[in-house]
């Protein structure tokens, strides 16, 4: 179709059939200039499309200079008609121009409409041509206030008119499968499509985006300008706009429509894109359901169905599915048969999918989902040349990525780093710096192989939107290091809480930002000196102590951090007992979390006096009285928790723990307060009750003595406590209680608990050593019961000449097991001969 003697080639964005038709039409027309729907600012970078390094899918990225968060994308793939037209023109040295409404107006209009919405006016549309808005009029654009533009889906209407219930299938039959067979006039498909769109616009009006009239007026003006300069003009635009561009209007009317439009300064460049982001499921309004399939249709030289089945078979084989060449042959035959039965000109994606499910996947949708994700949609990531305009930060990031061999990929992958290696340490620094800048290329996850501080595991996935984040972060500096430093310094000043400042100090150490750390430490010291809230101080302490450890692992000078951390630990120790007085149930639970975090952090400090003082504070807390009617006291939850922490650190023996428990269960203590003490004491694990049945007997005796009228109040607390136990622990405790083995509370300190011998059986204890040696692969050729030096079970995990008893002395394990473990594995008792029959 033509408008003012210009050839209007109406297309569907990202349609391989339209792309082939455009290529054939341009070869027939041999235009002097090619006009493409897109922002005119892109004229300055269109020549880069001919660069050898440019590999689609890519996108034009425009952003406002004064606010980089205002950005829009114009993506193209290898099968996009616009890309085909651009490459066709550049290869023949034909000028290419973009004719859509300038992005300078688009962003300004979007800002005005946003302001209108916030002030209570009518809802406006988003940036025209931006990602999420189909230039052909497909779909609708939903706004933040819940309203949406009423849009016409032209393909859906035409498909329904033709008797199809699937618009994609109609498009394949009418365009994708037939355009290659069109003989003679290459413009015939565009004439037919233009007539169809004209009928739709007559029926439904111009009901598209509210900015469509402005866009079409600007495109008409640019077409007239090109006609005055060139004889043969070809226009590639969305088919929905063709009737409007062919409409006879005056220059004055079009200019009057555009008069007074607001504008802002913008910059534009090319950025990599992905097939996944071309999909409709990503939220892209002009997207397609199967970009990977369309790419295959456009690039396959012949027999597309057979070549597709070969790709599917290769993918399934990589995932260990038994697929042979016979499967491929049968799948092709079935797809072609289904196409004939359904009256389709050629087998499409629907037939190919049904054939793959039946033949290669044995009717299962599980492997079929993999085919859809990897092939039908795909994860192809484009590339742009180094000469493309970019902010200095982007160039520095690209150089660093190449130096560290960290290529951005659209497919999600895990990266294990060993920080003892220079390259891995540098990769870790880069990823941490990018996260500090808000560029979440990688997400740190829990490692599978090791939990040591010298290892990190990252999950990497590059999304096109990260290009906008890089542009936004460019205001902080020209390099990743300088930008992260400036951002950290600014965030330290703006951080609302002390805990956020300490977390920032930790991130600065992880990112190795020595210039930012002093500024953050100054803010941290000032905030810590002024903040009197013990809860805030306790929240800040763990991150600070971790920062000291990270500094040691990474070789960073952390003296200042250590001084602040130790000072903060002292302030928490002094302020915590008064803060525990008079708390209600919710306040006590919150303070318990602070107590646990501060205790764990204090245990990581190297200053032994601080640890001793902390233990003394916990002892005082455990021996405090509960609250009464006349004076506030310490909640049983906190007193029980303090006792448990002391017991786990071997600073409280089981006799003293039993005494404290007996006091908590005395008749003068309210049942709810006693239940709270149990919750604090047993929180985190119930193995203590399994291995020390005196404590189990105390709990059992108290529980059976709770008055009926108070039992309903106590039951929720007890259920919450015991629900935290592992299932095996709950089962063992239940068995002990059911057998009646839980002794009475009056059992003496020297008596052995039920189920344990008074004197350890060294022979039975040593019987496990041969199995351990076999599992660890130690001295498999020697006597399994004796080491080369003659000592039974020597050297297991220990140093030269040491035995398992020495290892247990070095790392005694949980305090409630230490006495038995050390007794059972004393070196002088390990020279016991183990009969062959008992070694198993």
pLDDT at residue 590, rounded to an integer? 87
pLDDT at residue 46, rounded to an integer? 94
CB 392 within 8 A of CB 478: yes
On the CB side of 67, CA atoms within 13 Å amount to: 9
Beta-strand relationship, 96-98 and 33-36: parallel
Beta-strand relationship, 6-11 and 233-238: parallel
- Distance set, CA 174 to CA 180, 339, 630, 817 (Å): 11, 14, 88, 77
CB 56 within 8 A of CB 108: no
Measured CA to CA, the distance from residue 559 to residue 607 in angstroms comes to: 13
CB 458 within 8 A of CB 415: yes
The values of phi and psi at residue 57, to 5°, are -80, 140
CB 675 within 8 A of CB 717: yes
Q: Please state, as a whole number, how many other Cβ atoms lie within 10 Å of the Cβ of residue 373.
A: 14
CB 135 within 8 A of CB 241: yes
Measured CA to CA, the distance from residue 538 to residue 148 in angstroms comes to: 48
Measured CA to CA, the distance from residue 689 to residue 229 in angstroms comes to: 92
Q: What angle do CA 457, 463, 467 make, to 5 degrees?
A: 110
Helix ranges, 164-303 (H): 167-171, 188-204, 212-229, 242-246, 251-258, 275-278, 291-299
Question: From the CA atom positions of the chain, what is the Rg in Å?
Answer: 37
pLDDT at residue 574, rounded to an integer? 84
Measured CA to CA, the distance from residue 35 to residue 22 in angstroms comes to: 12
Rounded to the nearest 10 degrees, the angle between the axes of helix 392-403 and helix 480-494 is 120
E strands, 279-412, in order: none
Q: What DSSP state is assigned to residue 627?
A: P
Measured CA to CA, the distance from residue 636 to residue 712 in angstroms comes to: 18
CB 244 within 8 A of CB 349: no
Of 671, 534, 651, 648, give the one whose Cα is nearest residue 592. 534
Q: Which residues contact 750 (CB under 8 A, 6 or more apart)?
A: none
Measured CA to CA, the distance from residue 496 to residue 456 in angstroms comes to: 29
Q: Please state, as a whole number, how many other Cβ atoms lie within 10 Å of the Cβ of residue 208.
A: 30
Q: Which tokens in the block code for residue 32?
A: 């002097």
Measured CA to CA, the distance from residue 28 to residue 187 in angstroms comes to: 9
Q: Which tokens in the block code for residue 319?
A: 């995932």
Measured CA to CA, the distance from residue 106 to residue 131 in angstroms comes to: 13
Of 323, 17, 318, give the one whose Cα is nearest residue 174. 17
Torsion sign over Cα 798, 800, 805, 811: negative
Measured CA to CA, the distance from residue 313 to residue 782 in angstroms comes to: 51
Cis peptide before 57 (omega within 30 of 0): yes
Contacts 24+ apart (CB under 8 A), 191-196: 191/1, 193/10, 193/239, 193/242, 194/1, 194/8, 194/10, 194/239, 194/242, 194/243, 194/246, 195/1, 196/154, 196/158
Q: Please state, as a whole number, how many other Cβ atoms lie within 10 Å of the Cβ of residue 115.
A: 11
pLDDT at residue 810, rounded to an integer? 41
Dihedral Cα 796, 797, 802, 804, nearest 10 deg: -60
Q: Is 334 helix (H, G, I), strand (E, B) or coil?
A: helix
Measured CA to CA, the distance from residue 357 to residue 167 in angstroms comes to: 22
**3-state SS of 381-441?**
ECECCCCCCCCHHHHHHHHHHHHCCCCCCCCCEEEEEECCCHHHHHHHHHHHHHHHCCCCC
Dihedral Cα 406, 408, 414, 419, nearest 10 deg: 30
Torsion sign over Cα 146, 147, 149, 150: positive
Measured CA to CA, the distance from residue 220 to residue 245 in angstroms comes to: 6
Beta-strand relationship, 233-238 and 71-76: unpaired
Q: Which residues contact 531 (CB under 8 A, 6 or more apart)?
A: 498, 537
Q: Please state, as a whole number, how many other Cβ atoms lie within 10 Å of the Cβ of residue 412.
A: 11
Q: What angle do CA 194, 200, 205 make, to 5 degrees?
A: 120
Burial of 586 (0-12, 13-18, 19+ CB in 10 A): exposed
CB 540 within 8 A of CB 568: yes
Of 470, 450, 543, 529, give the one whose Cα is nearest residue 500. 543
Counting DSSP H helices and E strands in the chain, the numbers are 36, 11
Residue length of the chain: 840
Scan for tokens 């011998």, then name that residue: 757
Of 268, 223, 266, give the one whose Cα is nearest residue 100. 223
Measured CA to CA, the distance from residue 782 to residue 795 in angstroms comes to: 13
Of 433, 528, 449, 532, give the one whose Cα is nearest residue 486. 433
Q: Is 71 helix (H, G, I), strand (E, B) or coil?
A: strand
The strand order across the sheet containing 96-98 reads 2-3, 6-11, 233-238, 33-36, 96-98
The strand order across the sheet containing 266-272 reads 71-76, 58-64, 266-272
Instruction: End-to-end CA distance of the chain: give it in Å, rounded.
Output: 89
pLDDT at residue 248, rounded to an integer? 86
Q: What angle do CA 617, 619, 624 make, to 5 degrees?
A: 95
Of 658, 736, 662, give the one whose Cα is nearest residue 705. 662
pLDDT at residue 745, rounded to an integer? 46
CB 604 within 8 A of CB 565: no
Q: Which tokens in the block code for residue 788?
A: 């080369």
The values of phi and psi at residue 291, to 5°, are -60, -35
Measured CA to CA, the distance from residue 815 to residue 592 in angstroms comes to: 21
Measured CA to CA, the distance from residue 52 to residue 62 in angstroms comes to: 23
E strands, 263-305, in order: 266-272
Split the chain (840 residues) into runs of 10 and give each run's mean pLDDT: 73 87 92 94 94 92 83 90 95 94 90 72 38 37 40 78 79 68 72 87 73 90 93 92 89 90 91 83 66 91 92 93 94 94 87 94 91 89 88 89 89 87 91 92 75 78 86 86 91 83 82 84 77 75 74 56 78 84 84 87 83 88 67 79 85 80 77 81 73 72 73 74 75 76 44 56 85 78 44 38 38 39 38 38
């Amino acid at each position: 179709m033509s408008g003012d003697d210009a050839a209007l080639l109406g297309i569907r964005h990202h349609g391989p059939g339209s792309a082939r038709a455009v290529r054939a039409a341009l070869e027939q027309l041999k235009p002097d200039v090619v006009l493409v729907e897109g922002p005119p600012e892109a004229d300055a970078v269109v020549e880069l499309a001919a660069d050898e390094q440019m590999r689609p899918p890519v996108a034009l990225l425009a952003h406002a200079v004064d606010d980089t968060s205002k950005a829009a994308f114009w993506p193209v793939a290898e099968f996009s008609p616009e890309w085909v037209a651009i490459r066709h023109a550049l290869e023949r040295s034909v000028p290419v121009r973009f004719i859509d409404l300038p992005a300078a107006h688009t962003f300004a209009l979007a800002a005005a409409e946003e302001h209108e919405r916030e002030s209570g006016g009518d809802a406006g549309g988003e940036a025209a041509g931006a990602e999420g808005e189909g230039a052909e009029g497909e779909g609708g654009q939903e706004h933040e206030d819940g309203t949406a533009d009423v849009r016409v889906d032209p393909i859906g209407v035409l498909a329904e008119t033709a008797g199809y219930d699937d618009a994609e299938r109609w498009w394949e039959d009418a365009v994708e499968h037939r355009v290659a067979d069109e003989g003679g006039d290459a413009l015939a498909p565009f004439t037919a499509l233009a007539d169809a769109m004209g009928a739709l616009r007559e029926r439904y009006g111009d009901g598209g985006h509210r900015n469509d009239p402005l866009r079409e007026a600007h495109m008409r003006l640019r077409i007239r300008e090109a006609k005055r300069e060139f004889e043969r003009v070809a226009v590639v635009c969305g088919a929905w706009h063709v009737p409007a561009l062919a409409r006879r209007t005056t220059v004055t009317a079009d200019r009057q429509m555009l008069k007074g439009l607001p504008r802002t300064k913008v910059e534009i460049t090319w950025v990599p894109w992905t097939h996944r982001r071309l999909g409709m499921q990503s939220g892209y309004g002009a997207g397609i359901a199967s970009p990977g399939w369309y790419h295959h249709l456009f690039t396959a030289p012949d027999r597309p169905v057979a070549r597709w089945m070969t790709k599917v078979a290769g993918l399934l084989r990589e995932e260990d599915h038994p697929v042979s060449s016979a499967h491929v042959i049968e799948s092709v035959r079935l797809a072609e048969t289904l196409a004939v039965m359904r009256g389709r000109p050629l087998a499409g994606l629907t037939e190919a999918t049904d054939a793959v499910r039946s033949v290669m996947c044995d009717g299962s949708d599980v492997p079929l989902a993999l085919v859809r994700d990897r092939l039908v949609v795909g994860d192809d990531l484009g590339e742009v040349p180094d000469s493309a305009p970019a902010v200095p930060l982007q160039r520095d990031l690209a150089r660093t990525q190449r130096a560290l061999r960290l290529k951005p990929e659209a497919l999600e992958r895990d990266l294990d780093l060993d920080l003892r290696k220079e390259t891995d340490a540098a990769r870790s620094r880069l990823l941490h710096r990018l996260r500090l800048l808000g560029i979440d290329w990688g997400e740190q996850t829990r490692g599978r192989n090791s939990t040591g501080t010298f290892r990190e595991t990252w999950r990497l996935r590059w999304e096109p939107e990260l290009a906008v984040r890089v542009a936004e972060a460019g205001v902080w500096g020209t390099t990743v290091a300088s930008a992260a430093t400036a951002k950290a310094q600014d965030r330290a000043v703006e951080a609302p809480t002390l805990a956020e400042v300490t977390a920032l100090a930790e991130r600065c150490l992880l990112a190795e930002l020595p210039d930012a750390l002093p500024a953050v430490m100054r803010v941290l010291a000032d905030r810590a000196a002024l903040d009197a809230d013990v809860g805030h101080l306790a929240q800040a302490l763990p991150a600070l102590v971790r920062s000291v450890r990270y500094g040691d692992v990474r070789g960073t000078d952390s003296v200042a951090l250590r001084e602040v951390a130790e000072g903060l630990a002292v302030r928490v120790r002094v302020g915590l007992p008064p803060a525990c007085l008079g708390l209600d149930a919710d306040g006590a639970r919150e303070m318990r979390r602070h107590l646990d975090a501060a205790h764990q952090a204090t245990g990581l400090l190297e200053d032994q006096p601080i640890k001793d003082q902390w233990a003394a504070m916990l002892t005082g807390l455990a021996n405090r009285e509960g609250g009464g009617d006349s004076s506030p006291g310490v909640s049983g939850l906190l007193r029980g928790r303090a006792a448990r922490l002391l017991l786990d650190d071997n600073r409280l023996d089981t006799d003293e723990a039993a005494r404290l428990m007996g006091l908590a269960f005395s008749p003068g203590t309210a049942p709810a307060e006693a239940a709270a003490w149990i919750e604090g004491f047993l929180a985190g694990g119930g193995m203590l009750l399994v291995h020390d049945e005196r404590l189990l007997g105390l709990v059992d005796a108290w529980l059976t003595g709770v008055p009926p009228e108070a039992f309903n109040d106590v039951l929720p607390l007890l259920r919450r406590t015991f629900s935290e136990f592992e299932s095996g622990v709950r089962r063992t405790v239940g068995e002990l209680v059911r057998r009646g083995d839980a002794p009475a509370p009056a059992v003496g300190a020297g008596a052995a608990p039920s189920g344990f011998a008074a004197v350890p059986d060294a022979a039975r204890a040593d019987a496990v050593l041969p199995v351990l040696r076999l599992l660890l692969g130690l001295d498999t050729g020697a006597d399994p019961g004796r080491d080369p030096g003659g000592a039974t079970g020597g050297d297991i995990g220990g140093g030269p000449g040491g035995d398992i008893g020495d290892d247990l002395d070095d790392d005694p394990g949980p305090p409630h097991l230490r006495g038995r473990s050390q007794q059972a594995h004393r070196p002088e008792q390990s020279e016991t001969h183990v009969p062959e029959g008992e070694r198993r």
